[in-house]
Structure 1
Amino acid sequence: MRIGLLRHFKVNCPHKKMMTSKEFREWSERYEKSKVIKNKVEMYGIKWDICYVSDLPRAITTAKEVYSGNLHIDKLLREVDNAPFIHSERIRLPFEIWHICGRLAWFFKSRSQPETVEGTRRRINQFLDRIDWSKENILIVFHGFMLFNFQRELRKRGFTGEKVRVVKNGVLYQYLKE
């Protein structure tokens, strides 16, 4: 059995170098609605039996480019929200700090984040418990931070594959189980 994990194409949503927490949140909302920059994805000639995809537009657009069958759209595959780790209109920080600190706040279970680590893992396992395991080649198109967390749950279920630390847009990662 093979599972292919694919992060959506790069999103065309530039950001300011320095921003307040409010500006970071506004940028996040724009990102959700922005178009993607399509590129060629190496699918290694695999005939995918089924494709599951996040319900967010950037993932659906990507899935339609790489898979020609019916898409199984599932909101459990949505990205983990990355909220500002502090709220202050006086503090301006680099975009990267907002992004990284939001993910660290999630990891360290800060109340600033809308979803907990346990909530994310529960969502991933809910999805894995309900997919069609009778299919030999399963493609999942979704988001970077979800993919990063998803691979851990696949390993727990006996899958092997590359341990991805930096998830790239439009790159297929494969996991196998005998």
Structure 2
Amino acid sequence: MTVARSMKQIGLVRHHRVTEGYPTKGWISASDIEKWIERYDTSDIDIQPVELGQIDWTVCYASSMPRAVQTAKSVYDKEIIVTDLLREVPFPTIQSNLRLPFLGWAVLGRLAAPFSKRIQAEIKEANERIEVLLNQLMFEDDERVLLVGHGGMMILMRAALKRRGYRGPRFGHPRNGMLYLFEKEEPTC
């Protein structure tokens, strides 16, 4: 007896590039970073063509953040399921009177993350949201699922998909507007 198998495909797409660039003016404070985050979260995006691999996606989920919703609308012409489950992990901010270049704040945030209970709690909560979404997808019939979200979430999502037996590309910093395809063979009933 042979078991029929189907291929479950999950495509991850990071939102298009945000037009609000990174702060470049010299030394900035922690409050400057917080103001930049507010501008970044509401910024327009630079819509570019996205190659979706000639796949007929059966459903599309998008983070509820405006840049992800706009990106999803630019690449998927059917109904989009907007969800908070794909919202970005917040940019790690540090309360300090220091003034550093933006890159210095980014490095400091990365170095502080393993030691910050707040940042670790945000990452844990993001991983829990990913598990909720993947559990939902496991019980749906959709075989070709497109997920439009954010770079940090994509890194966590890739790890979760690998743990569940999906095959897909490695990436350190996902590119904006690029498809990362993950596949898994599943028995059909």
Aligned residue for 2:56?
47
The two structures, once aligned, show a CA RMSD in angstroms of 1.6
Aligned residue for 2:134?
128
Runs ≥4 in structure 1, deviation > 6 angstroms?
none
Higher-Rg structure is: 2
Q: Which residue of the other structure, out of 44, 69, 72, is the alignment partner of 1:35?
A: 44
- Higher deviation after alignment, 150-159 or 128-137: 128-137
Q: Does 1:8 align with 2:26?
A: no
Q: Which residue of the other structure, out of 82, 86, 90, is the alignment partner of 1:77?
A: 86
Aligned residue for 2:117?
111
Structure 1 residue 109 displacement after superposition: 4.4
| 1:81-100 deviation digits (Å, cap 9, x = unpaired) | 01323x223x2111122223
Aligned residue for 1:142?
149
Scaled by the length of structure 1, what TM-score is found? 0.92
Counterpart contact for 2:89–2:122, Cα < 8 Å: no
- Higher deviation after alignment, 130-139 or 43-52: 130-139
Secondary structure of the residue that 2:117 maps to in structure 1? coil
Q: Does 1:24 align with 2:33?
A: yes
Whole-angstrom distance in 1 between the partners of 2:44 and 2:120: 25
- Higher deviation after alignment, 55-64 or 13-22: 13-22
Whole-angstrom distance in 1 between the partners of 2:63 and 2:51: 20
Structure 1 residue 119 displacement after superposition: 1.8
Structure 1 unpaired stretches of 5+: none
Counterpart contact for 1:5–1:147, Cα < 8 Å: yes
| 1:114-170 deviation digits (Å, cap 9, x = unpaired) | 843322211110111123531111000000010011100001111001111121100
One-letter amino acid matched to 1:22:
S
Counterpart contact for 1:80–1:115, Cα < 8 Å: no
Secondary structure of the residue that 2:10 maps to in structure 1? strand
Counterpart contact for 1:81–1:114, Cα < 8 Å: no
One-letter amino acid matched to 2:14:
R
Structure 1 residue 103 displacement after superposition: 3.5
Whole-angstrom distance in 2 between the partners of 1:104 and 1:5: 27
One-letter amino acid matched to 1:50:
V
Structure 2 unpaired stretches of 5+: 1-7
Structure 1 residue 33 displacement after superposition: 0.5
Counterpart contact for 1:83–1:114, Cα < 8 Å: no
- In structure 2, relative to structure 1, the CA distance for the partners of 1:64 and 1:2 (3 Å cut) is same
Whole-angstrom distance in 1 between the partners of 2:56 and 2:168: 19
- In structure 2, relative to structure 1, the CA distance for the partners of 1:176 and 1:8 (3 Å cut) is same
- Aligned residues: percent identity? 35
Equivalent residue pairs, number = 175
One-letter amino acid matched to 1:4:
G
